[in-house]
Amino acid sequence: MFRMNVIWTFLFWSLSFGILSNGLSANVSSRPAVVNVGALFTLDSTIGRVAKIAIEEAIKDVNANSSVLHGTKLLATIHNSNCSGFLGMVEALRFMETDVIAIIGPQSSVVAHSILHVANELQTPFLSFAATDPSLSSLQFPYFIRTTQSDLHQMTAIAEIVDYYGWKEVIVIFLDDDYGRNGLSALDDALAARRCRVSYKEGITPGDASRSGIMDVLVKIAMMESRVIVLHAYPAAGLMVFSVAQYLGMMGDGFVWIATDWLSSVLDSSSPFRSETMTDILQGVIVLRQHTADSEKKRAFSARWNKLTGGSLGLNSYALYAYDTVWMVAHAIDSFFNQGGVISFSNDSRLQALERSDLHLEAMVIFDGGPLLVKNILQSDFVGLTGHVKFNPDKSLIGPAYDIINIIGTGVRQVGYWSNYSGLSTVPPETLYLRPPNRSSANQQLHSVVWPGQTVSKPRGWVFPNNGKQLRIGVPKRVSYREFVSQVPGTNTSKGFCIDVFTAAVNLLPYAVPYQFIPYGNGHENPSYTELVNLITTGYFDGVVGDVAIVTNRTKILDFTLPYAASGLVVVVPFKKLSTGAWAFLRPFSASLWGVSAFFFLLIGIVVWILEHRTNDEFRGPPKKQLITILWFSLSTLFFAHKETTVSTLGRLVLILWLFVVLIINSSYTASLTSILTVQKLYSPINGIESLKKGDEPIGYQVGSFAEHYLTEEIGISKSRLRALGSPEEYAMALQRDPKKGGVVAVVDERPYIELFLSSQCKFRIVGQTFTKSGWGFAFPRDSPLAVDLSTAILSLSENGDLQRIHDKWLTKSACSSDNTEIESDRLELKSFWGLYLLFALASFAALVIYFVQIVRKYRKTVSGESISDVQGSSHSRRLRTLLSLMDEKHDQSRRDAKRRKLDRSLSAYDEENDLGWDSNRRQSHICLEHGTNVSN
């Protein structure tokens, strides 16, 4: 009975829910016979023509498949927006007056910006298969679902192509509406992330792209530096741009044209395309196309498409996305019904509050099931014609990828792919998805491209602008070392080594470079080179030519050419000639080496005395005699003239090692003294930057040089010690003057200046090594292609010898400047012999340890036989005296020595008996000795 009540209650509730209506709400059954959706796009556009067919075929396939909507028919009403925001808004409002639960479209991003605010209010999902504007955010428009890829990914692909070929600047021609402007913004951001930039951008007015207007734009672009042009437009305007570019000769050698996917849509849907258009105006263009995975389903639909259109209309990627969008809606509606969703609408109370008018605003209703339907759409997960259809958490389709194609002849050639997963590759993204992601530069690959002008060589991507603008080249106005760069009096021209190198390099460029030299400085002192190069970053100078050092803090903000002159900081000091003098024999060794040598000479005497004292009579006797013996033995080893013999094994070992040390010391001393007495020597107390760092004397540097910053910031020398010097004459005066009287102990400057200084000043020398490794280069703004081309020209000058000839012309050296051998002292230091002394010290220590171990063992045997006194103090005193006596006592002869002396006496007695003729006794004694018996017995 209870079961029957439940069944009747359920049937009654179902009938009531499906039949009754309440007020202004219109309810239908959860599985109605028909579900209405709308479609909004431009019917006579490139995308609209194929989208109409694709949507109609998708509706047929959905209705033919009973497993999707389970008998419910899907009907689509198509309205034409005519690519107008206003008409799009009107057509969208017309849909709101009906029971449409979802709208496929709009096609145009401009229309989307107009009508999506209505979608938010009336909760109707809009699924766009063609609105690629990146600014159409799901956060701003929660009922907007993009069922294709955003231009954000397309612009990233273009930026990676530009970076792959090493170009740094691009020109963008775009349609001046929401679609074009927001696409340009995304491209600008993507390029900036790769240290590239949009150097110029020009918008085209939508719907009014006249040939004359486009010609004005392209004439202006032709006068500019960059030759990489990105075209982001609609088909009509885009093809007009290519036509005018062909007329102006801008589709030839040196130009690079990159078109967004609008052109691939035209090419694919207009197949076969007009051969004259392909041949004449599109040769060498790189085009992007939304990538759709190859599959059996896609090939079957393509064959079906050809039958439907008779080959007059090609199938492009937007048609595939339109087809999958219908299936996406169908699957979402099916899930909507399965979850108990009911198609119902209600009026907006805010519209009812408005005064009644002829607009019939009260007819617009809110779709109550909108939030649930949007949720189901975003949970789509199926395989369509475009591949795997699924959304990311950010409500965008997974796996964004593009085909990169190159127009050649009357067809196109695929040169690679771009995917958000692995960047540029020649392998389809579907294959790369099975591998770990790899975005390394070595993994970025594309096939060769035939560029405009029928060349396969990669275009340089820029030329010098042909618009009459001259480069403003800053030149330092030096007052010293004018051989490097100086201003010709009474003119704006400059001369010098650096100027000649720059002029020769510019003459090797394959294009003309108009420039003018702008002197920088007050003419009274050398300018600050840091301030000079910083003017490039402000745009005051287009480059700087001169003796500019390439240092780290400058390379962070500027680009430099390859060095045309080697440089680096060196230390210059005055020197004096060393005379032999009465005390020349002391100069071979430093004071520390003399002291350590004397210590070890004394040490060898003490160590040998300790080891020989108990066993060798020559090291025994009164204390005075033993002290004299130690001193004599120590000094006599210097000349190998020691008369004392060593008898202990340890003593002989230590002495052998010491004599080896003495041999090395004597040889080194002799060689150094010979050099001092026979060769004229130079001397300076400063031997490099380390000596300067440890001292506190003043140091000179050149005004305007980076040496001041390097010495204070990198080396850590106090700024109070630095003295600014403005000319070679000031160098010489400061170096000759006593540091306490206003002079300097040394001058730190770059090597080219110092070499020129020493060519006329033979009283000074370079000491130590060059402690910075840098060079001179020409400075230009970041990413300047002129820096790259001039670097190639400088290499050519170096290889053909012109660079050396320019150097010899301006920087000829005299005889004394070539003698720039670093001054080093001939004095021998302790560091050259510490290994020998360490070896000897270890050997001596080991010998003493062994000796004292033997003494301690003997001491223990002696103490163990003595009685222990009751008084502790006397016991310690007696043990100490015992230890000292053992160390001082004469060592007894061993038993073996006693037997040897006894045998010697026996042999002597035997000889005496032999002399007296006692033959019988001799034989008897001989027999007794052999048998060990006593003769007396």
Distance CA 926, CA 275 (A): 136
Q: Name which of 360-364, 394-398, 636-640, 760-764 the model is least confident about.
A: 360-364
Exposed, middle or buried, 329 (CB in 10 Å: 0-12/13-18/19+)? buried
Asked if residue 189 has pLDDT above 80, the reply is yes
Report residue 512: phi and psi, to 5°: -80, 140
In the structure, what pLDDT confidence band is assigned to residue 218 with cuts at 50, 70 and 90? very high
Alpha-carbon distance of 686 to 692, in angstroms, equals: 7
56 CB burial (10 A radius; 0-12, 13-18, 19+): middle
C-beta of residue 287 within 8 angstroms of C-beta of residue 405: yes
Residue 570 near residue 770, CB atoms below 8 Å: yes
Question: Are the C-beta atoms of residues 125 and 106 closer than 8 Å to each other?
Answer: no
If we measure between CA atoms, which residue out of 864, 869, 866, 862 comes closest to residue 883?
862
CB 75 within 8 A of CB 98: no
Do 264 and 405 contact (CB within 8 A), yes or no?
yes
For the stretch 636-685, pLDDT in tens is 777 766 666 777 777 778 877 878 888 888 888 777 767 766 555 556 77
Axis crossing angle, helix 834-864 with helix 591-612, rounded to the nearest 10? 30
The residue to which tokens 């605010």 are assigned: 117
The per-residue pLDDT for 374 is 94
The overall average pLDDT reported for the chain is 81
pLDDT for the residue numbered 699: 92
Residue 277 has pLDDT above 70, yes or no: no
Strand partners, 413: 406
Tokens of 211: 């040939």
Q: Residue 298 half-sphere exposure, CB side, CA atoms within 13 Å? A: 18
Residues 722 and 745 sit within 8 Å (Cβ to Cβ): no
Q: What is the DSSP string of 259-278?
A: E-HHHHHHHHHTPSPPHHHH
What is residue 490's predicted lDDT score, i.e. its pLDDT?
Answer: 77
Q: Given a cut of 50, is residue 111 above it in pLDDT?
A: yes
Residue 765's contacts (CB-CB under 8 Å, 6 or more residues apart) are 572, 573, 575, 682, 684, 758, 820, 821, 822, 823
Select the more confidently predicted residue: 800 or 686. 800
According to DSSP, the β-strands at 411-419 and 401-408 are antiparallel
pLDDT for res 259: 97
Average pLDDT over residues 328-349: 87
The predicted pLDDT at position 451 comes to 95
Q: What is the dihedral of CA 220, 224, 229, 232, to 10 degrees?
A: -40
Tokens of 490: 């009474």
Whole-number Å distance between alpha carbons of 103 and 128: 8
- Answer whether 148's CB lies under 8 Å from 124's CB: no
Helices (H), 619-687: 623-636, 649-678
| Pair type for strands 722-725 and 169-175 | unpaired
Per-residue pLDDT tens digits for 508-542? 988 788 899 999 988 888 899 999 999 999 989 99
User: How do residues 853-876 score in pLDDT, each as one tens digit?
Assistant: 777 777 777 767 654 444 444 566
706-715, long-range: CB < 8 A, 24+ apart:
706/529, 706/530, 706/549, 706/551, 707/569, 707/748, 707/749, 707/750, 709/530, 709/553, 710/551, 710/569, 710/772, 711/748, 715/689
pLDDT in tens, 279-328: 678 999 999 999 999 999 999 999 999 999 888 888 999 999 999 999 99
Q: Which of 213-227, 444-458, 552-566, 829-843 has the lowest mean pLDDT?
A: 829-843
- Max Cα–Cα distance, the chain, nearest Å: 173
* Residue whose pair of structure tokens reads 């618009």 in the numeric block: 467
Say if residue 206 is preceded by a cis peptide, omega within 30 of 0.
no
CA gap 807, 793 in Å, rounded = 16
Query: What 3-state class would DSSP assign to 27?
Result: strand
CA distance 8 to 826: 119
Q: Which among 464, 557, 565, 569 is positioned nearest to 779, based on CA atoms?
A: 557
- In sequence order, what E strands does 176-292 have? 197-204, 228-232, 256-259, 286-290
The Cα-based distances of 689 to 568, 621, 746, 748, 821 in angstroms read 13, 57, 10, 9, 16
Bridge-based pairing of strands 699-702 and 746-750 is parallel
The token pair that represents 609 in the structure block: 């005395």
Q: Would you tell me the crossing angle of helices 623-636 and 591-612 to the nearest 10 degrees?
A: 130
What amino acid occupies position 479? Answer: V
Q: What is the dihedral of CA 213, 215, 217, 223, to 10 degrees?
A: -160
Half-sphere exposure of 12 (CA within 13 A, CB side): 6
Residues 6+ apart with CB under 8 A from 474: 518, 520, 532, 535, 536, 540, 541, 543, 544, 545, 546
Per-residue pLDDT for 181 more than 50? yes
Side chain identity at residue 769, one-letter code: Q
In the chain, % of residues over pLDDT 90: 38
The DSSP code sequence of 709-776 is HIIIIII---GGGEEEE-SHHHHHHHHHS-GGGT--SEEEEEHHHHHHHHTT-TTEEEES-----EEE
- Of 199 and 833, the structure prediction assigns the larger pLDDT to 199
List, in sequence order, every residue forming a beta bridge with 284; answer none if it has no partner. Answer: none
Q: Tell me if 252 sits within 8 A of 452, measured CB to CB.
A: yes
Exposed/middle/buried for residue 1 (C-beta within 10 Å: 0-12, 13-18, 19+): exposed
Max mean pLDDT among 410-424, 570-584, 892-906 falls in 410-424
Rounded CA separation 374/378 (Å): 6
Distance CA 531, CA 856 (A): 79
Question: And the tokens for 479?
Answer: 């007052």
Specify the 3-state DSSP secondary structure of 254: coil
Q: Any alpha helices (H) in 467-528, and if so which ranges?
A: 497-507
Contact 847, 650 (CB under 8 A): yes
Are the C-beta atoms of residues 234 and 175 closer than 8 Å to each other? yes
Q: In what order do the strands lie in the sheet with 699-702?
A: 722-725, 699-702, 746-750, 569-574, 764-767
pLDDT tens string 118-170: 788 788 899 999 999 999 887 888 999 999 999 999 999 999 999 999 898 99
Identity of residue 601: F
